[in-house]
Amino acid sequence: MKILVIGPSWVGDMMMSQSLYRTLKARYPQAIIDVMAPAWCRPLLARMPEVNEAIAMPLGHGALEFGERRRLGHSLRNKGYDRAYILPNSFKSALVPFFAGISQRVGWRGEMRYGLLNDIRVLDKPAFPLMVQRYVALAYDKSQIASAKDLPQPLLWPKLSVTEDEQARLCSTFSLDRTRPIIGFCPGAEFGPAKRWPHYHYATLAGKLIDNGYQVILFGSAKDKEAGNDILAALSSSQQVWCRNLAGETQLEQAVILLSACQAVVTNDSGLMHIAAALGRPLVALYGPSSPDFTPPLSYQAKVIRLIEGYHKVRKGDGAEGYHQSLIDITPDSVLATLTDLLTSSKDN
């Protein structure tokens, strides 16, 4: 069987989609699975042994470009795909498999995709509360799975691996002194300050960890560089020696390798959180208005700290500097206590 998956366009969603690939490979060991996704996904897909080929989706996230999608679909007709899984819920995401003439096209109904999908599922959201459950359910006949309770347990969660040689080489490239254990911080978030634990809390926690013999590495995109610099500026000069701001300085592949070299990770609700979870790093995930009830970190070594319940608007924070009050209220001492428990449990295992 040859399978084409139209993958998601966000880091966290892409990581969670690996549960579908792992499930398909477990059910059909001889299946060949190709994933079409934005080119930036290639470093993640390359570390998923279930994926045969990453096919770059050349069109932007919001672009319809009907004619180009038809051309792209026609170019895949000689690939011999038997089945397609369309993970985004948009109308346009279902066009390429339709034009590729793939005989079975599976996905949730989404934007009224009748005709484009011929194995269409109607989502009962309360029956599948987690995004990962919605992905995995597509691997089974719809008559078998009426709710998440029908899915075989445990789910095959995302899993990335990095070798010790890769870690050593890249730590050397970035001149990281590995005589001190590394704690990774991911202080950014796609929607801005409303989903971020305040930089001054990160700085307080960094200072405590450094004084306890750790070093801290700050991860993120170029948009997170300023937040990282704010954390650095709040440290004493002696503490700054053991804190590196690598936000915007690493490619995604490098961030994956360096995160794997961390003893543990403290992170906001972000794509890097899902990567750290898939790497099996002890993880403290800090949630405010966004909810872990839909897209939690998929790891038994992850602990979520959240002081509120339910859904809250995430576009703008209600506290100083745009932070959400519920995140302001999470104290560095409480995060340190949770992190210490995780590190202790990790050593015991």
Mean pLDDT, rounded, for 189-217 = 93
pTM for this one? 0.94
Task: Give the pLDDT score at 139.
Answer: 97
What CATH number labels 2-150?
A: 3.40.50.2000
Q: Which residues contact 65 (CB under 8 A, 6 or more apart)?
A: 59
- Work out the number of other CB atoms within 10 angstroms of the CB of residue 45: 23
How far is the CA of 59 from the CAs of 104, 158, 314, in angstroms?
23, 26, 27
Cis (ω within 30 of 0) for the bond into 154?
yes
**Sequence-distant contacts of 131-138: CB under 8 A, at least 24 apart:** 131/13, 131/16, 131/294, 131/295, 132/16, 132/19, 132/157, 132/295, 132/298, 134/108, 135/16, 135/17, 135/19, 135/20, 135/87, 136/19, 136/20, 136/23, 138/20, 138/85, 138/87, 138/106, 138/107, 138/108
- Token pair recorded at residue 277: 């979870």
Say whether pLDDT at 62 is over 70: no
Instruction: Please count the residues of the chain.
Output: 349
DSSP summary character for residue 108: E
Q: Where in the chain is the domain with CATH 3.40.50.2000?
A: 2-150, 164-348
C-beta separation of 21 from 51 below 8 A: yes
Task: Give the pLDDT score at 121.
Answer: 94
Mean pLDDT, rounded, for 244-254 = 96
DSSP summary character for residue 158: -
DSSP string, 4-68: EEE--SSHHHHHHHHHHHHHHHHH-TT-EEEEEE-GGGHHHHTT-TTEEEEEE--S-TT---HHH
Q: Which residue spans within 230-287 are E strands per DSSP?
A: 243-245, 264-268, 283-286
DSSP string, 169-209: HHHHHTT--TTS-EEEEE---TTGGGGS--HHHHHHHHHHH
Separation of alpha carbons 91 and 226, rounded Å: 37
C-beta separation of 142 from 128 below 8 A: no
Task: Give the pLDDT score at 318.
Answer: 66
Task: Give the pLDDT score at 315.
Answer: 65
Candidate from 18-32, 91-105, 142-156, 183-197 with smallest mean pLDDT: 183-197
Say whether pLDDT at 190 is over 80: no
pLDDT in tens, 81-138: 999 999 999 999 999 999 999 999 999 998 888 889 999 999 999 999 999 999 999 9
Task: Give the pLDDT score at 127.
Answer: 97
Is CATH 3.40.50.720 the classification given to domain 164-348? no
pLDDT in tens, 287-325: 998 889 999 999 999 999 999 988 777 666 666 688 999
- Token pair recorded at residue 201: 């809390």
Best mean pLDDT range from 63-77, 203-217, 300-314: 203-217
Mean pLDDT, rounded, for 185-203 = 90
Place of tokens 């932007």: 60
Instruction: State whether residue 116 is helix, strand or coil.
Output: coil
Say whether pLDDT at 256 is over 80: yes
